Amino acid sequence: MMRGSSILLVLVAAVVGPATAASYFRAAGQRLLTPVSVGIRSAAKHQRTSSGPGGVAPANAASILPRRTSVKFLGNSDLVTRTCESSRGGAQSSDPSNQVASTTLRRAYLAAGAATTAAWSTMVYTTIRSNQPQGAMMPSWQHGVFARIGAMTAASLIAGSCASLALKASRARTWDDDLGNDTSFRRHSLALATTGVASSLWVKFADVVTRIPGSGDPLLSHQSYSGSMQAKLIGCYGTAAALGAYGWIKCLPEDVRRNPFSWPGRIVDGVSQSLLQLAPKDTSDPVQNKYSLLTSSFLIFTAMQTICNMPIAVIPSWTSRRLSRAFPIYTFLGAVTCFDLKEATEQGRILTDESSRLLSAGVRSFGGLYLGARGLSLFDPSFPKHFGMVNQVPGLAAMAILMVGLSLRSDKK
SS (H, E, C) 291-341: HHHHHHHHHHHHHHHHHCCCCHHHCCCCCCCCCCCCCHHHHHHHHHHHHHH
| Contact present, 152 and 70 (Cβ < 8 Å) | no
**Per-residue pLDDT tens digits for 386-411:** 898 999 999 999 999 999 999 999 99
pLDDT at residue 59, rounded to an integer: 42
For CA atoms 165, 171, 176, 177, give the dihedral sign: negative
**Per-residue pLDDT tens digits for 52-63:** 444 444 444 333
286 residue type, one letter: P
pLDDT at residue 36, rounded to an integer: 39
Backbone angles phi, psi at 174, to 5 degrees: -130, 150
For CA atoms 358, 363, 364, 366, give the dihedral sign: positive
Those residues with Cβ within 8 angstroms of residue 50's Cβ, 6 or more apart along the chain or in another chain:
57, 58
| Contact present, 189 and 179 (Cβ < 8 Å) | no
Task: Supply the angle between the helices 153-171 and 183-204 in degrees, to the nearest 10.
Answer: 140
pLDDT at residue 210, rounded to an integer: 87
pLDDT at residue 80, rounded to an integer: 36
**Mean pLDDT per 10-residue section of the chain, whose length is 413 residues:** 36 33 39 41 44 43 37 37 36 66 93 96 92 78 92 96 95 87 94 97 92 70 90 96 96 91 94 94 95 97 93 92 91 97 95 95 96 93 90 94 95 90
| Contact present, 387 and 377 (Cβ < 8 Å) | yes
pLDDT at residue 215, rounded to an integer: 63
Q: Distance (Å, rounded) from C-alpha 240 to C-alpha 8?
A: 20
